[in-house]
């Protein structure tokens, strides 16, 4: 057994009695109420999911296992000569709640490296897509196609005790996560590089190997580590995390669940906003006559108002939970101020940071006028030469899969059941509201 799996097993044994006690002795305690606005409004804010892997405070932002992002970046072990930590160390932290030592992080690097090679048929699946297919569609399908590899599914059909579900789920998760950089970079090569692919380097870590396969020099390895780590988890209720959890709750294996979560991430109000920001910015760049012409604040304000007045959202701004600037935005901004201050597109993003929040406040609709993670991630990729912006959500998906796999392993470890909330009808809501009398059926 790997050290990570042993540690995880210890943690599961510690945690199970806590969950069982809450369920058996305190199951009737009320933790929230549900209003009509919440039932009609996307269940916003209803406390009905449990995860210990991350927690999103509306004002402070995300904490992974109790650590702020700043602390995560300070404390996780880093490869020599790198500013950013091992992604594998983050997986250790998310799964166990303990900050890994360098040796513990390196054990996971080794584990991932051994499992990184993808089955041959995945190349064929990717190659079979017609041109102009969106990379997220290809990514989701490639992951889905590996369903046949699932240990969990094999063990389940052979008969396995419920308490042991987490074990094959862990094996499937590590197998899948280790392969995601290979799958993504092969998709990138197929769509944008005439299929000219760079083979992986088994001596590199997750972020380093991803940069290598993308054909990028330093510091793109650190850019990748930063990107994957900040995108990995955002508690359980966002569309991608919730989709992964929901699908896995029917005991679908990790391939089915992560493919589904990728599809949720591919929507423009969620992960596709990373692409949306650059697309929207480039319409402005074209209007200005090229990226060398930096618009004035007034020109940007006019563009923002035009977008709003045409009934569209400003991509990269607003959030369903956050009520302050997203710390994931702030971290990327810090990186950008250090490394891409003179980049013309960064200058656009910088002006947006000043002008969009007051406009959204003035419009008075968005509850959170501040930028989110997606407002800043694309410009960094653009700067380092990944200019095919419809690929950006795939990068998000690689990161997000790490957190969701950790959550699903824990879902199985703690025996979380099939998810099945209850629906009501509009008539019933009107009855609750007292504007309609309950009809008795004749
Ligand atoms: N631009 C214009 N209007 C916005 C807005 C924005 N950036 N953000 C919110 N609003 C509007 C909503 O569309 C809504 O309008 P209606 O009443 O007409 O429906 C109103 O303000 C209230 O919305 P809200 O309660 O503040 O926000 P929601 O929780 O409903 O939605 C969203 C949160 C992130 C979907 C929203 O802010 C949005 O559409 N932002 C732009 C897209 C985006 O950046 N998405 C990525 C978010 C981060 C993420 O998940 N990344 O993956």
Report pLDDT for 2: 83
3 state SS of 362? helix
CA–centroid distance, 315 to ligand 1, in Å, is: 8
Q: Is the CB of 245 under 6 A from ligand 1?
A: no
What would the pLDDT profile of 267-302 be if each residue is shown by its tens digit?
999 999 999 999 999 999 999 899 888 899 999 999
CA distance 331 to 314: 21
Kindly tell me the sign of the dihedral angle through the C-alpha atoms of 341, 345, 347, 352.
negative
3 state SS of 322? coil
- Tell me how far CA of residue 332 lies from CA of 60, 103, 158, in angstroms: 16, 28, 47
Closest C-alpha residue for ligand 1 atom 23: 366
Q: Is the CB of 270 under 6 A from ligand 1?
A: yes
Question: Is a pLDDT exceeding 90 seen at residue 439?
Answer: no
What is the value of pTM for the model shown? 0.97
Closest C-alpha residue for ligand 1 atom 34: 319
Closest C-alpha residue for ligand 1 atom 36: 318
Q: Active site includes 374? A: yes
Report pLDDT for 438: 78
What would the pLDDT profile of 72-82 be if each residue is shown by its tens digit?
999 999 999 99
Q: Which of 205, 221, 374, 411 is catalytic?
A: 374
The ranges assigned to domains in the chain are 273-388
Q: Is the CB of 314 under 6 A from ligand 1?
A: yes
Q: Is the CB of 271 under 6 A from ligand 1?
A: yes
Q: How confident is the model at residue 159 (pLDDT cuts 50, 70, 90)?
A: very high
Q: Active site includes 270? A: yes
Q: Is the CB of 251 under 6 A from ligand 1?
A: no
Q: Which of 270, 343, 383, 411 is catalytic?
A: 270
Higher pLDDT: 440 or 438? It is: 438
Phi, psi of 54 (to 5 degrees): -150, 160
Question: Is a pLDDT exceeding 90 seen at residue 442?
Answer: no
Burial (Cβ within 10 Å: 0-12, 13-18, ≥19) of residue 150:
buried
CA distance 166 to 409: 5
Contacts 24+ apart (CB under 8 A), 433-440: 433/36
Mean pLDDT of 21-33: 98
Report pLDDT for 436: 85
Token representation of residue 435: 């504007």
Task: Assign domain 273-388 to a CATH class.
Answer: mainly alpha
What would the pLDDT profile of 5-25 be if each residue is shown by its tens digit?
999 999 999 999 999 999 999
Closest C-alpha residue for ligand 1 atom 3: 313
Q: 110-124, 288-302, 412-426: which has the minimum mean pLDDT?
A: 288-302
Q: Active site includes 161? A: no
- Tell me how far CA of residue 230 lies from CA of 156, 326, 402, in angstroms: 34, 11, 11
Q: Considering only CA atoms, which of 50, 64, 73 is closest in space to residue 98?
A: 64
What would the pLDDT profile of 168-194 be if each residue is shown by its tens digit?
999 999 999 999 999 999 999 999 999
CA distance 239 to 270: 7
Question: Is a pLDDT exceeding 90 seen at residue 441?
Answer: no
Q: How confident is the model at residue 253 (pLDDT cuts 50, 70, 90)?
A: very high
For ligand 1, pick from 266, 275, 366 the residue to mutate: most ligand atoms within 8 Å of CB: 366
Phi, psi of 64 (to 5 degrees): -95, 120
Mean pLDDT of 227-254: 98
Residue 355, number of CB atoms within 10 A of its CB: 18
Closest C-alpha residue for ligand 1 atom 12: 366
Q: How confident is the model at residue 437 (pLDDT cuts 50, 70, 90)?
A: confident
If you average pLDDT over every residue of the chain, what do you get?
96
Q: Are 235 and 62 in contact (CB under 8 A)?
A: yes
Using the atom order of ligand 1, give the atom closest to the CA of residue 365: 21
């Amino acid at each position: 057994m790997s050290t990570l799996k042993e540690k995880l097993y210890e943690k599961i044994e510690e945690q199970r009695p806590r969950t069982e006690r809450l369920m058996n002795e305190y199951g009737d305690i009320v933790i929230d109420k549900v209003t009509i606005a919440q039932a009609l409004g996307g269940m916003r804010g209803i406390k009905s999911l449990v995860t210990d892997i991350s927690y999103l405070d509306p004002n402070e932002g995300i904490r992974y296992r109790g650590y702020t992002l700043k602390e995560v970046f300070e404390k996780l072990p880093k490869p020599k000569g790198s500013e950013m930590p091992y992604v594998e160390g983050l997986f250790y932290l998310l799964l166990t709640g303990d900050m890994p030592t360098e040796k513990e992080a390196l054990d996971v690097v080794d584990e991932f490296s051994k499992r990184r090679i993808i089955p041959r048929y995945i190349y064929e699946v990717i190659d079979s897509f017609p041109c102009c297919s969106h990379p997220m569609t290809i990514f989701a399908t490639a992951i889905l196609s590996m369903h046949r590899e699932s240990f969990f599914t094999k063990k389940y059909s052979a008969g396995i005790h419920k308490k042991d579900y987490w074990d094959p789920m862990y094996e499937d998760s590590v197998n899948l996560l280790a392969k995601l950089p290979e799958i993504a970079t092969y998709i990138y090569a197929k769509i944008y590089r005439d299929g000219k692919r760079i083979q992986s380097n088994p001596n590199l870590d997750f972020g380093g190997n991803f940069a290598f396969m993308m054909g990028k020099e330093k510091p793109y390895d650190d850019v990748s580590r930063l990107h994957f780590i900040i995108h990995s988890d955002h508690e359980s209720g966002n569309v991608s995390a919730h989709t992964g959890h929901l699908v896995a709750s029917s005991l679908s294996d990790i391939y089915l669940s992560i493919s589904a979560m990728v599809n949720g991430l591919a929507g423009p109000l969620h992960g596709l906003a990373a692409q949306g920001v650059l697309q929207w910015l480039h319409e402005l760049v074209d209007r200005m006559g090229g990226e060398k012409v930096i618009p004035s604040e007034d020109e940007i304000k006019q563009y923002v108002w035009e977008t709003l007045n045409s009934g569209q959202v400003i991509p990269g701004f607003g959030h369903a939970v956050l009520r302050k600037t997203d710390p994931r935005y702030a971290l990327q901004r810090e990186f950008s101020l250090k490394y891409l201050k003179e980049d013309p597109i960064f200058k656009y993003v910088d002006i947006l940071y000043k002008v969009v929040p007051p406009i959204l406040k003035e419009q008075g609709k968005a509850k959170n006028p501040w930028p989110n993670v997606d407002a800043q991630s694309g410009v960094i990729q653009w700067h380092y030469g990944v200019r095919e912006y419809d690929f950006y959500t795939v990068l998000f998906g690689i990161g997000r899969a790490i957190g969701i796999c950790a959550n699903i392993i824990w879902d199985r470890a703690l025996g979380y059941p099939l998810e099945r909330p209850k629906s009501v009808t509009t008539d019933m809501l009107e009855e609750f509201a007292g504007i309609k009398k309950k009809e008795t059926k004749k």
